[in-house]
Structures are given as C-alpha cells and as structure tokens.
Homo-oligomer: A and B are copies of this chain.
Amino acid sequence: MAPEMLPPGSVVGMLGGGQLGRMMALAAARLGLSVHVYCPDPDSPAFDVARAHTVAGYDDEAALAAFADRCDVVTYEFENVPARAAEVIAQRTLLRPGALALATSQDRLVEKTFLRKAGAEVAAFASIDRAADIDAAIAVTGLPAIVKTRRFGYDGKGQRKVESREALAAAVTELGGADLILEALVPFELEVSAIVVRGADGAAAVYDIGENSHADHILKQTRVPARIGAETAAAAAALGRRIADALDYVGVLGVELFVVRDDQGERLVVNEMAPRVHNSGHWTEDGAVTSQFENHVRVIAGWPIGSVATIAPTVMENLIGAEADAWAAIAADPKARLHLYGKAESRPGRKMGHVNRVGV
C-alpha cells in the first residue's frame, strides 16, 4: 500500500449535510470508510447515513477544531465554506480539495481571472464596485449582459440579465452596489459539463461529457454523451483536466462549459467551476463504472481513481419540488433508477431526488 492511502476504518469528514454529502457518505461506507458530517442544520439528510455528526455553525471554531481532530481527511459539499473554517481545519488535518480551489471558486472575479490565466476562454467580464464603474464595464461586455454578485450565488440567485444602462444601474443598486461582476452574454448552443477527478499524485480522469438543460436556472437534465463533436468533447475534457492541474486539485471538480457554434465550428467557453461533486455528475451513479461520489472519496483518501468508463448512454433528471411526488410511478418504470435524498419537506425549487435512465 502506498503510504498516503487512508486504510478502511479511517474517518472522512464532510462539511455540509445535504444530498451531495449524503451520496458521498454512502459511497464512503461502501468502501469501509467511516463518515463524520458537520452541518448547522439538525435535519441534514447526510446525518442519516453517517456514523457521526456535529451540528454547529461554520463559524464555531471550537466545534470545527474538535471535528477536524476526529477526521483523517475533510472534504465539503459546497464551495462557500468560509475561508476561516477551511483554515482551522487545514491546520489540524488534511483538507481536500485545498484552500486554493475554495478561494478561487468563491469569487466569480477571481475565478474568471484564474480560468483565463489557465488558458480557458471565458465570457468578457468586468468588475463593478461603484456606480462609476458601470460605463467602463459595459464597454468591456456590451449589452445585453448579466450582472452577478461575486460571491454566494447559486441556481441563478444573485444575478440579473440587463438590456440597458438604466437597467444595469438599477440592478447594481439592488444587488448591493459593490462586489459585482458584469459578464457578456455568450451566444451558446448548449451547456455541457466536464466532471474531472484528480488525485494527489496528479493522475486525472474525466467522465464522458454531459449535456445540461435547465429550467428556472436549476439543472433539470443531464444527458450523456453530449450531442457535440468528438473533438469538442475531447477539448472539454482537456480543459477540465488543465483547470484541475492549475489548482493542484484533489477530488472531483465540476466544470460547466458553453458550446458556441459558428461558421468556424464549435468552441468552448467556460461558464463556471465547482470544487466538489456536481449535480451534472449524478448520472455516474448508474451510468458509469465508478460514480463521481466514490471517485471523490477515493482520491481524497489517497486511493487510486476508479474507472470512469460509461456503461451506457444515460439521462439524469432532477426531481425538483413536487416532481418527487411521482416517486411511485418512477419506481415502477423498469428503465428508471430512482434516488431520493430523504428530505422531509418538499418546497418549490428544492432538489428532492433524481432519476437515471441508463441505456436510453
């Protein structure tokens, strides 16, 4: 055994107790690893499948330290882990992915700057920190454009599409007036994801590229393979790997890319990245040899990457809010593989589960 492989029985800590933590915990258990979940919410779905859990805030340094001391490695299910929490943990045990990935992905301005430096094409962007920045920003992006908060946005929250200078000025005020980014609209044909897994030794693998569709800014469906050219798919995988390398990344990384089609053919524009298992990788649970959850756990524990080969074309559909009420019909569909997250309450926009259809 390589000295850095954590043996079975080791404790994997997870910050965040939602469905991503739950699915990582299930994967860890299958490998004989023990899971400790840390989350402020006492009703966290991941608690149900973990050996231990801590209910405490991400600003509770004593609780974070005690948690870290019980874990052989700590990971997270969301990129908005406060920098100070990450620091407390990293001082006491392994934190994977590391602080650089967190810091980069928490701020859209830092992220876009990093991506460009890593050789990825991104939408034209400019920062807005005061009303006086508006004209210079429009000069960079043109109009219409999208104004976003630099931090803490997800599922379309904290962003507005604007068609005019006046609308932008209003949106800037509405979004707080500072720490904003204006992004050019990318005239994309479709959105795809590269789900990359990379180990501490630099070995990396990329799952087959998935094609995403959204409803109300929330991922609705991922289909694999994406309906793009083979060269574009290879380029998306190479780009995902390059980004992971540039971050010296350990874990699963989700990279969302726009596919732009023009008379030159297809080209890729990186939308954003997530330093964690990703909703657009849920198809791998049934459609790939090793799921993204198992591979994330494997590499943060120092284990080698499991095969990312696709078993058969797969379509993943999120069950959002009341859509999960159709569980009985889905359970009766012989093509459907149902996954439910154990959330007691269904709310509009809440991700309740997903369903994979393999070989379709």
Contacts and interface: CB of A to CB of B under 8 A. Distances in A.
Interface stretch (A72-80, A244-252, A253-261, A324-332): A324-332
B29 A327 contact: no
A19 to B, nearest CB: 10
A34 B48 contact: yes
A342 B32 contact: yes
A32 B341 contact: yes
A200 interface: no
Contact of A342 (B8, B49, B338): B8
Nearest to A301: B331
A331 B303 contact: yes
Contacts of A32: 327, 340-342, 353
B340 A8 contact: yes
Contacts of A328: 1-2, 5, 303
A68 B337 CA distance: 29
A358 B327 CA distance: 29
Contact of A327 (B7, B49, B334, B344): B7
A22 interface: yes
A258 to B, nearest CB: 33
Interface string A282-322: 00000001000000001000011011000100000000000
A9 interface: yes
Contacts of A1: 328
A227 interface: no
A358 B341 CA distance: 28
B353 A332 contact: no
Nearest to A308: B334
22 contacts: A5-B328, A8-B340, A8-B342, A22-B29, A25-B49, A26-B26, A26-B49, A29-B342, A30-B339, A30-B340, A32-B340, A32-B353, A33-B342, A34-B48, A48-B50, A289-B337, A298-B331, A303-B331, A303-B332, A304-B332, A307-B334, A311-B311
Interface of A: 1-2, 5, 7-9, 22, 25-26, 29-35, 47-51, 289, 298, 303-304, 306-307, 311, 324, 327-328, 331-332, 334, 337-342, 344, 353, 358
Instruction: Give 10 nearest A-B pairs by CB, closest first.
Output: A32-B340, A1-B328, A48-B51, A304-B332, A307-B334, A8-B340, A49-B49, A29-B49, A303-B331, A32-B342
